[in-house]
Chains A and B, each alone.
Chain A
Amino acid sequence: MERIALLTSTLFYLFSFGHTLYALGAGRFRPGRFNFIAMALGAIMQGWYLSLRGAAEHACPIGNLSETLIFLSWSISLIYLVIGATYRLSLMGAFTAPLVLLLQIVALLLPNEVHASFFRPNPWVEAHAALSLVAFGAFGLAAVAGLMFLVQEGQLKSRRPAPIFHHLPPINILSEATLRLLWVGFLLLTLSFASGLLAHLAVAGGKFFFSIFIWLFYAAILFGSKFGVLSGKRFAWASSLAFLLALILLPVIEHLSGRS
């Protein structure tokens, strides 16, 4: 049943991505309901999968890298569904679907055995892990908005914009969306660290170092934006690169978590 839920959600994301590619190829850039509905169904199926895993493990289902990636991809989808519906950022779904799909496919290819050391009855530990992944969901969507900014800024600078230019949101709005998402992610990550402290979590040195490094990186981006040091393009690059870095470090942190 778990496998069916996971494969179905992957298919929905694949449909969303495929439809986006087809629509863009055919020169149709209007945000369609199809993509939004496919993403929503994908998130529902992922939610179902995670609830089944949670019930089986009696814990938040992030017991291995595969589950962690699925949880992260689910967080990104959910935040997109809220942001997409609220701010109606045109084409955001088109940029989010490939990221979510990629995370899901990598998760499907990874072994799905839960670490022996995973079972944690402490609710603060659960909150710590779940909050940090939702925070990275927000960072993921901030990276998507940053990427959209870079595409639109490139179009504006080129002075010969392609048809996609007319359908992408304004750079100011994208910059604002990136900033808000970074703040949401940063606050959630800080809360996650606080709950880790409350749980008296014994953290391996490497994991602690990488986690603090990412937190400081995001703090520096927000600081740079607030005081005009990082403007527009650099801010968008920084938010995209920070998430890429976080994705690269995630397996390392996950490995260290398994040992801690």
Chain B
Amino acid sequence: MNILCAGLNHRTAHLDVRERFAVHENEMEGLLGRLRAIEGVSGAVMLSTCNRVELYASSLCPMRALEGFRSILAERAGLEAPLYYHATPQAVRHLFRVASGLDSMVIGETEILGQVKKAYSVAADAGAATRPLHKLFQHAFRVAKSVRTETQITSGPTSIGSVAVELAGKIFGSLEDRRVMILGAGEISERTARSLQSRGVRSVIVSNRTYERAAQLAAEIGGMALHFDHWEKSFADIDILISSTNAPHAILTPEKLAPLMKLRRGAPLFVIDLAVPRDADPAINEMEGVFLYDIDSLEQIAAQSLDIRRQEVVRCESLIEQHVGGFISWMRSIHAPESHASRRTA
């Protein structure tokens, strides 16, 4: 018995190709049935995410399984799929890497593990997973857990939005009762505010030189619009200030903030300055209770996290290699009686 892995991912196919081969959840059961009907395929698990479409199959004849898979995909999408494929042990290694986030666009991302679990569960419910596939996927989940806990592959945030969320979390703890003010209704401010909302922020005030734009963004993200001339009046009540105005000079200076900070009675203020040229004078970071991050410092933290993750890849690969060895030994052990028996019959 062999394990075959075949598919396409973000490295081998552009998004407009990948989207043509994507398999919707509703179609999965039917497709698994068709895959199992290929001669020599005993079991199949299909993984379809925005970054990859992959088949994991248990098969006596991997090449025949691959050709069958290729023709099913070509028939569905109307074009030839640029497939890569691996047989045992590379296929096992590949799944372990995928489940651990090492094969993801952002190294170490954890969403993929949930997607692999879902793909396995759909196949198991449809009766498409055979014993080697059950064992393979269960093993992959253990590998992913071990990689996550024993290395720093998931360490730190990797996008501006997630950096802002982590920093806010490290200042305030829970973000549920925190109030955010957006100064300047730009796209990047909106994305950052949405990231904060996804972590529990409920109250957002939007202030922009053009009130209509502020009202429009406030309506989109469920916030409240405020005239630009009035933003200082709400200053005492906010915890996080996202600024991205087109002002040619700094609008947040120590002289301006000093009296406003007194109104806050020591409550910390997180200033996210996304504007270029900057809206905040760097000197405000020296003020007690003010934590200023500009676009460069946010990007540096994201890059730093990615660096740490990249450095961890070698440790992860070594952990994965041990598990591949373990799984291959198990496969040999279950086939050993079969091979003895077949030799005897011959």
Interface residue? A115 (CB, 8 A): no
Given contacts A160-B297, A231-B288, A232-B266, contact A166 B155 (CB under 8 A): yes
Q: Which residues of B contact A232 (CB under 8 A)?
A: 266, 268, 288-289
A88: Cβ under 8 A from any B Cβ: no
- What residues on A are CB-neighbors of B155 within 8 Å? 163, 166
Q: Is the CB of B293 within 8 A of A165?
A: no
How would residues 21 to 56 of chain B score, 1 for a CB under 8 Å from any chain A CB and 0 otherwise? 000000000000000000000000000000000000
How far, in Å, is B43 (CB) from chain A's closest CB? 37
Say whether A231 contacts B170, CB under 8 Å.
no
Which of A97-105, A169-177, A183-191 forms contacts with chain B? A169-177
Stretch in contact with the other chain, from B60-68, B123-131, B209-217, B300-308: B300-308
Distance in angstroms between the alpha carbons of A115 and B285 in the assembled complex: 54
Counting CB contacts under 8 A, is B321 at the interface? no
Task: List chain A residues, Cβ under 8 A from B152.
Answer: 27, 163
Q: Given A160-B300, A163-B155, do A172 and B171 touch, yes or no (CB 8 Å)?
A: yes
Q: Return 28 A-B CB contacts under 8 Å, by A number.
A: A27-B152, A30-B149, A157-B291, A159-B285, A159-B293, A159-B297, A160-B300, A160-B301, A161-B301, A163-B152, A163-B155, A163-B308, A166-B155, A169-B173, A170-B170, A170-B171, A170-B172, A170-B173, A171-B268, A172-B171, A172-B173, A172-B268, A173-B173, A230-B266, A231-B267, A231-B289, A232-B268, A233-B289
> Top 9 closest A-B pairs, CB basis?
A231-B266, A228-B265, A170-B173, A159-B297, A173-B173, A228-B266, A172-B173, A170-B170, A156-B291
Given A160-B297, A171-B268, A172-B268, A152–B170 Cβ distance below 8 Å? yes
Most chain B CB atoms below 10 A, which of A27, A165, A166? A166
Closest residue on chain B to residue A224 by CB atoms: B266
Interface residues on A, range: 20 to 34
* Distance between Cα atoms of A173 and B169 in the complex (Å): 10
Question: A22 vs B173: C-alpha distance in the bound complex, in angstroms?
Answer: 28
* Minimum CB distance partner of A165 in chain B: B170
Closest to A167 in B: B155
> What are the residues of chain A within 8 A of B169 when measuring CB–CB?
170
Give min CB distance, A13 to chain B, whole Å: 26
Please give, as numbers and ranges, the residues of chain A lying within 8 Å of B293 by CB-CB distance: 159
CB neighbours (8 Å) of A166 from chain B are 155-156, 166
- Quick one: which of B106-165 are within 8 Å of A by CB? 149, 152, 155-156
Collect the chain B residues with CB atoms within 8 Å of residue A19's CB.
Answer: none
User: A152 vs B268: C-alpha distance in the bound complex, in angstroms?
Assistant: 13
A173: chain B residues within 8 A (beta carbon): 173
Instruction: Tell me how far the C-beta of B240 lies from the nearest C-beta in chain A, rounded to whole angstroms.
Output: 13
Q: Min CB distance, A105 to chain B, in Å?
A: 33
Count of chain B residues with Cβ under 8 Å from any Cβ of A? Answer: 26
Starting from the known contacts A160-B300, A231-B266, A234-B288, 16 additional A-B residue pairs (CB-CB under 8 Å) come to A30-B149, A156-B170, A156-B171, A159-B292, A160-B297, A160-B304, A163-B152, A163-B308, A166-B156, A169-B173, A170-B169, A173-B173, A231-B267, A232-B268, A233-B288, A233-B289
CB neighbours of B156 from chain A (8 A): 166
Closest to A29 in B: B152
Determine the distance from Cα of A213 to Cα of B149 in the docked complex, in whole angstroms: 48
Note all chain B residues with C-beta closer than 8 A to A228: 265-266
- Taking the closest CB of chain B, its distance from the CB of A175, in whole angstroms, is 9
Q: Which residues of A contact B288 (CB under 8 A)?
A: 231-234
Q: Which of A172, A173, A230, A233 has the most chain B CB atoms inside 10 A of its CB?
A: A172
- Among the listed A152, A157, A171, which residue makes an inter-chain contact with B285, where contact means beta carbons less than 8 Å apart? A157
The minimal Cβ–Cβ distance linking A122 to chain B, given in whole angstroms, is 44
In the bound complex, CA of A159 to CA of B265 (Å)? 24
Contacts A170-B169, A170-B170, A172-B171 hold; do A231 and B265 have CB atoms under 8 A apart?
yes
Bound: A172/B268 CA distance, A: 9
**Cα distance A230–B288 when bound, in Å?**
11
Give the distance in Å from the alpha carbon of A165 to the alpha carbon of B167 in the complex.
10
Whole-angstrom distance from the CB of A227 to the nearest CB of chain B?
8
- State how many angstroms separate the Cβ of B335 from the closest Cβ of chain A: 39
